[in-house]
Structure 1
Amino acid sequence: MGRGVGIASACASATVVNAIAAGKGAAFGVDLRVQARVRLTKGGKISGRILGQRKESPRLIEICVRRVLENLGMKKYGAVVETTSEIPIAVGLSSSSAAANAVVLATFAACDQRPKPEQVLEIGIESAFEAGVTVTGALDDAAASFYGGGVITDNLKRKILKRFKVDPRLVVVVHVPPVKFYTSKVSPEDLRHIYRAVQSVHRMALRGEIWKSLTINGLLYSTALGHDPMIAIEAISKGAVAAGLTGTGSATVAVAEPDKVVDIVKAWRAWRGRILITKPAIEGARVEGV
């Protein structure tokens, strides 16, 4: 064991193809980060806090720590785990996947261990299932958050089918409505009617038509889940390369050249909520200190 403290962070991600309807997804990293600090204790008790978000349950981050300690045969230890985040929670920006990645990495670092990427993703996904915060395991979100850049996945088979680069000069504009929308409330059964359409959008992404896929996926899911698709259409009309619902919402993401951002932001002020301006994440999860 090292000094018993680990600090790590991971980035948010935005949806290209949501995997809930068809089990296959795609996503890319977004430069909003969550940081986790894990301090090992004696006695086996694990307690978690999401700083600045008292109403949110720390169950996922506590499960992540427990599973890492079990994995390393260190069940006699406990831990205090805290996360701080720039990522709005429960709006579709993979706050859960990012938190899981950061906590798993920080716990390994506290134990003076360097895990393989697949190990971090596997523990995070299993923890998310146990915590009930995912429907498909969210490999697309988790892998985009861990690696940065873009990924296309088969979530049900837990396979990364392809990775793609995102132009770092592009700007990511996010509209965050005042309402949260928890992924766990949606089931594949609710989305059966868009199954075939989402499958064809996933094939489109595999062919390299990433931004077209993002826009069409957003329209399909907005309509299916009752979100307003006009906000994305407005961004496209103002010159966005792509725009659509991210995750199951409620946030909408637009990807644009820098000179289009002002027009998109002006148009989006007609909708209630806040607007974040960020960029694609080239770097994913990282250990920041032990």
Structure 2
Amino acid sequence: MHGSARAPAAGTVLNALATGYGSAFAIDEYTTAEVTLDDSGEVTGEIAEAPDADTTLVETCVRRVVDRFGDGEGGHVRTESDVPMAGGLKSSSAAANATVLATLDALDADLGREDACRIGVDAAREAGVTVTGAFDDASASMLGGVTVTDNANDELLSREVLDYSVLVYAPDEQAFSADADVSRCERVAPMAALVKELALDSRYATAMTVNGFAFCGALEFPTTPMVDALPDAAGVSLSGTGPSYTAIGNREALERVEERWRDYEGTTWLTQTQTDGARTT
């Protein structure tokens, strides 16, 4: 019993830590998962690019799908990713989505993508890798496009297609979402409420820029990459709880930003928004 799937990374429009409402958009970088089920009853996991990393999340995803659709199977899940871990680019959500879909594929089980996404979100909560449940990140990765969500109730408020080039700057360090200072984020709740209204009005570029300045302050990340991206980028933000930044706009304008961002330590690359979401392979 074998299944495989891939899910895209995502960038932030609205960080959900302040108010519980969040927004994110899928980008054309992927995590893949291969799941092989057997009659062992035990689930093991492997992350190709980080063999010593904690695999609790993906193992929990397999168990939750098996509990719902299987018959006590065990097995092995292996993920491989182009997305930096703990970089704010939703690597955990992408891994969970890919693993859930791959396990469903192995069991030949049918489930709508929005409901499949919720299995991964619940697994992330159980594994302790998220504060909010990250339904915003997970829904953008699973469904593609840009989503706005109520993370407290795992409710999808809106989804639209977003067509932009995307520039990513990923510093070398890591920042784990579960370690973020929630109390500091809650202090910028009025700004987050404004970002929510902008996002629900489809003003995503402006929304993410306001979000970026607010959460750079709350999470104590530098605003220099954001200032250096303006006014060429249509929108720019700290992604998630950092340390990565994403900018959206037309490719020619982002190439000018890329020249400036390349002066920073870390990795910078151009990609694009993704509209198809996660898929079995």
CA distance in 2, matches of 1:120, 1:7: 14
Letter in 1 for 2:154: R
For residue 107 of structure 2, the aligned residue among 108, 111, 118 is 111
Q: Name 2:257's counterpart in structure 1.
A: 264
d(CA) in 2 for partners of 1:166, 1:262: 19
1:160 pairs, out of 156, 160, 170, with 156
* Superposed displacement of residue 188, structure 1: 2.8
SS in structure 2 at match of 1:56: coil
Q: In structure 2, what is the Cα distance between the partners aligned to 1:256 and 1:206?
A: 19
Larger deviation, residues 46-55 vs 17-26:
46-55
CA distance in 2, matches of 1:123, 1:162: 20
**Partner Cα distance (1:241, 1:142) in 2:** 24
What percent of counterpart residues are identical?
36
| Residue identity opposite 1:114 in structure 2 | D
Q: Secondary structure at the match of 2:230?
A: helix
Q: Which deviates the most, 184-193 or 226-235?
A: 184-193
Q: Runs of at least 4 residues of structure 1 off by over 3 A?
A: none
Whole-angstrom distance in 1 between the partners of 2:183 and 2:221: 18
Displacement, 1:278?
Answer: 0.8
- 1:92-241 aligned at under 5 Å gives the runs 92-167=88-163, 170-237=164-231, 239-241=232-234
Partner of 1:15: 12
Deviation at 1:208, TM superposition (A): 1.7
Report the number of matched residues.
Answer: 281
- Contact preservation (8 Å) 1:135, 1:187: no
Q: Residues 3 and 35 of structure 2 are in contact (CA less than 8 Å); yes or no, is this contact kept in structure 1?
A: yes
Deviation of the 1:55 alpha carbon:
3.4
TM-score by length of 1: 0.94
Q: Following the alignment from structure 1 to structure 2, what is the Cα–Cα distance between the partners of residues 166 and 73? A: 36
Gaps of 5+ in 1: none
Aligned partners of 2:236 and 2:31: how far apart in 1?
24
- Alignment partner, residue 91 of structure 1: 87
* Corresponding residue of 2:63: 66
Residues 70-92 of structure 1: per-residue CA shift (max 9 Å, x gap): 011422x1011100101111011
The root-mean-square deviation of aligned C-alpha atoms, in Å, is 1.0
TM-score (norm 2): 0.97
Cα distance in structure 2, aligned partners of 1:69 and 1:261: 44
Match of 1:275 among 268, 273, 278: 268
Contact persistence 2:167–2:270 (CA under 8 A): yes
